[in-house]
Chains A and B, each alone.
Chain A
């Protein structure tokens, strides 16, 4: 019964991952060529290269910021949908959250040109209102623009995950907390937060992984800081034909993601403030 699932997961996930790990310990012999000699040098280069360090710092930093903002911003929305909205409107609210995902990722990125661009909605409004004399150029083609785009894309996922978790909280628990004199903030921190911590960690890790490894958003919106770790990996494989080098950087990224998940999963046992 499980054989088909094992085959799919094994073939689509495990085998490619193992291939990547094996490649990371090989020696590159020129474009596309490898020698089957074991070496740690690819990992040493990946960790010690100043360019990779700079890019990694920016990529993981942006990813963490986007993930944190998504989770923090998702909580009020998820709480409202789960506990304040009548059941009749809940599905509509979830649909409105999800509807943005129906549009192509690339189209949504380009849409930010019309919102944050020099002639976009924000700058046009600011100039018309007399708040600024000329367009604010930092709104787009900057790390701010990348962060805004990341939050825009991944916030719906965080809302969905937290809403799903909150809907498993029995309303009686919240009533009991209020009956015992807990203020709304305390109810949230001692009841809702611990019971949704697993979903929050999941949302954070999901957003962190996808944003840290994103290729397109930094390229289109990042301005003169448009390189991400994904671009570096791509260059290693495609431009340089250095599969072991690209594989090593990928494995280091994977290790960082695993460490982040392991550390944050300890929060699932947190009992609240």
Chain B
């Protein structure tokens, strides 16, 4: 299925959202622990339940600072967000295991496939869903059924609540080339040294699995299959200009004319590039298949002031907030009821009518291998294979 993405609106261009930037997203914001120490009764609480500080650790933008519905809620309830942003998803893993994040940060996110892995590492705490009544607005796919039971609701608990999703295919400069119809298009001579391969091993391996015909929703590949996937990326790398270190850097490369395509891609890069003056970048999901992601809020073990966090998460699932998140993040909402509140350009970005088909068949949510049987590649094997690929 081809999934053309329109260019972002002017309103999106005025904010800088640098997902996975190498340095740009590093350590913006004040130290939550220091602020917690200095904070006395400065925050005037209008609600006895939800007030005080939320210490957020995840992707820039996921703290929902720019959404008017969230801003108004924070002001009304006297809630202050202190954010620390990550460069890669592995930063979240590291922070909440050996990085001293437990007890300091009380709100974070994980991408669907990381759910069982994080639960195994005792990172998230079980959620009290009675405190997130607005989650009822989410589509059934995200609340119950086989997909939900894989990533967010398993072992008798709800560990996280998915609030946004997206698709990863190929970004391309629409003024220079036509939309690629296959990942193999990038192997053609006309693309030699003109495209980038993004340093996103999870998305790359999932896409590679689609291309090589071995895709499995549980990401359990034999080592021979993993070798085949990496071999496909090696042929792409031989024709590529560079390995793109981050999606933010990808936008710089499009804007400076260094590349005409990049994969794995991300629709939000359209917006990043537009903010840098290049409004021609588009995103397409080739028919072979794409990687899709779904990020969910979780509350880390040892978190403090969880009442404020629960209330904040609940507000993020209001229809108004979901519509605004879709516009600001250039990602899809999980609440079908929010679609009517979106502007036309935002509404057209994602296939809301076919959401379930897309996320279960055409582009099932990307995941990492966990508890794999002997003979199958582990997540360590994935990372080692990717290191070898880049070397």
Contacts and interface: CB of A to CB of B under 8 A. Distances in A.
A238 B245 CA distance: 16
Given A51-B388, A137-B241, A239 B258 contact: no
Contacts of A222: 242-243
B311 to A, nearest CB: 31
A224 B121 CA distance: 34
B23 interface: yes
A241 B391 contact: no
Interface string B87-103: 01011011001100000
Given A216-B22, A220-B22, A238 B258 contact: no
Interface stretch (B44-52, B249-257, B330-338, B358-366): B249-257
A230 B22 CA distance: 14
Contact of A219 (B91, B93, B245): B245
Contacts of A114: 256
A224 B245 CA distance: 10
B245 A220 contact: yes
Contacts of A140: 258
Given A31-B93, A113-B256, A238-B88, A226 B121 contact: no
Interface residues of A, number: 33
A226 B243 contact: yes
Interface residues of B, number: 32
Contacts of A224: 197, 237, 240-243
Nearest to A243: B98
Contact of B383 (A113, A117, A240): A240
Contact of B391 (A55, A106, A239, A243): A55
A272 interface: no
A235 interface: yes
B245 A237 contact: no
A137 B193 contact: yes
A51 B242 CA distance: 19
Interface string B19-33: 000110000000000
A121 to B, nearest CB: 13
Nearest to B385: A51
A237 B249 CA distance: 23
A226 B245 contact: yes
Interface in B78-134: 88, 90-91, 93-94, 97-98, 117, 121
Contact of B243 (A110, A223, A239): A223
A119 interface: yes
Contact of A227 (B22, B117, B391): B391
A118 to B, nearest CB: 6
A140 B388 CA distance: 22
Contact of B90 (A137, A141, A239): A239
Chain B CB count within 10 A is highest, among A110, A231, A240, for A240
B237 A220 contact: no
Given A223-B241, A223-B242, A240-B383, A117 B388 contact: no
B257 A119 contact: yes
Interface string B179-195: 00000000000000100
B94 A238 contact: yes
Interface string A235-258: 101111111000000000000000
Contacts of A237: 94
B387 interface: yes
A159 interface: no
B82 to A, nearest CB: 22
Contacts of B383: 235, 239-240
B387 A232 contact: yes
A53 B237 CA distance: 20
B241 A51 contact: no
A237 B97 CA distance: 11
B340 interface: no
Interface string B156-180: 0000000000000000000000000
Contacts of B354: none
A227 B193 CA distance: 18
A119 B256 contact: yes
Interface string B313-346: 0000000000000000000000000000000000
Interface in A104-155: 106, 110, 113-114, 117-119, 137, 140-141
Contacts of B245: 219-220, 226
28 contacts: A31-B97, A31-B117, A32-B98, A51-B384, A51-B388, A106-B23, A113-B258, A117-B257, A117-B258, A118-B256, A118-B258, A141-B241, A141-B258, A219-B199, A220-B249, A222-B243, A223-B242, A224-B197, A224-B237, A224-B241, A226-B199, A226-B242, A235-B383, A235-B387, A238-B88, A238-B91, A240-B383, A241-B93
- 4 closest A-B pairs by beta carbon, nearest first, are A32-B97, A141-B242, A223-B242, A219-B245
Interface of B: 22-23, 88, 90-91, 93-94, 97-98, 117, 121, 193, 197, 199, 237, 240-243, 245, 249, 252, 256-258, 380, 383-384, 387-388, 390-391
